[in-house]
């Protein structure tokens, strides 16, 4: 009964393999059907030249891909910078600081003298500064409890401000709302607040 290897066995029986060493040192083998050149001994000598040839051959392709990636990155950077200019005019003045922050985030260092702890920084970025909102709300509550009451009648503004601070989209917005309310209350109590 024939097996999966019977055709190979039959072939080698009919055409036994042979080896011939060429004058240049290559070993020419045949399995009885087709010749195969083995580069025994020459592989290590030719390897650097082969690698260099491969680099030279693929360099235009690699350069083209890098240029395409750079063009896509430049386009994306331009679009992103345009959006940022709309929402934060003058952001370019902070571009060096942003680069420093980007380098720190890419680095293995977990602390930075200016930006602090990387884990805390990432947490605040992910939670949109919710800790800053909580701190602002607590500070407003403390201020309301410690405020000197005057005989002025009127509705309390604390719940409205608290709600506005909670709904703020960023920590910066929350702090701005809290600061504006504090200034308003100081003015209402007759305290001079610089503009």
Q: Give the model confidence (pLDDT) of 110-143 as tens digits.
A: 999 988 899 888 888 888 766 667 777 778 877 7
Decide: 174 and 168 in contact? Cβ < 8 Å: yes
d(CA 144, CA 43): 83
Residue 46 lies in a domain: yes
Helical pair 158-167 and 130-146, crossing angle rounded to 10 deg: 170
167 and 119 co-located in one domain: yes
Q: How many domains does the chain have?
A: 2
* Average pLDDT per 10 consecutive residues for the chain, totaling 195 residues: 45 54 62 52 60 82 92 92 89 90 91 89 78 74 73 57 83 86 82 74
State whether residue 2 is helix, strand or coil.
coil
Residue 28 three-state SS:
strand
64, two tokens:
């083209």
The tokens describing 142, both together, are 């403390």
In-domain check, residue 23: no
| Residue 121 domain-assigned (yes or no) | yes
Whole-prediction pTM: 0.39
What are the φ and ψ backbone dihedral angles of 148, each rounded to 5 degrees?
-80, 120
Predicted local confidence at residue 74, as pLDDT = 92
Pure H helices in 88-170:
95-106, 118-126, 130-146, 158-167
Region at 108 (left for phi over 0; alpha for psi -120 to 50; beta for the rest): alpha
The domain of 186 spans 101-147+156-190
């Amino acid at each position: 009964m024939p097996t999966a290897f019977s055709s190979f066995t039959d072939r080698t029986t009919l055409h036994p393999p042979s080896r011939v060493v060429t004058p240049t040192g290559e070993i020419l083998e045949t399995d009885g059907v087709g010749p195969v050149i083995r580069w025994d001994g020459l592989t290590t000598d030719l390897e650097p030249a082969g690698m260099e040839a491969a680099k030279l051959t693929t360099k235009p392709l690699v350069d083209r891909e890098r240029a395409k990636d750079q063009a896509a990155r430049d386009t994306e950077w331009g679009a992103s910078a345009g959006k940022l200019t709309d929402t934060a005019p003058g952001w370019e003045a902070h571009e060096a600081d942003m680069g420093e922050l980007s380098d720190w985030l890419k680095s293995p260092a977990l602390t930075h003298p200016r930006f602090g702890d990387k884990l805390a920084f990432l947490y605040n970025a992910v939670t949109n500064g919710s800790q800053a909102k909580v701190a602002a709300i607590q500070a407003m509550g403390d201020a309301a409890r410690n405020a000197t009451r005057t005989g002025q009648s009127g509705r309390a503004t604390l719940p409205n401000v608290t709600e506005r601070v909670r709904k703020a989209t960023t920590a910066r917005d929350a702090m701005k709302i809290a600061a504006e309310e504090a200034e308003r209350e100081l003015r209402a109590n007759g305290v001079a607040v610089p503009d």
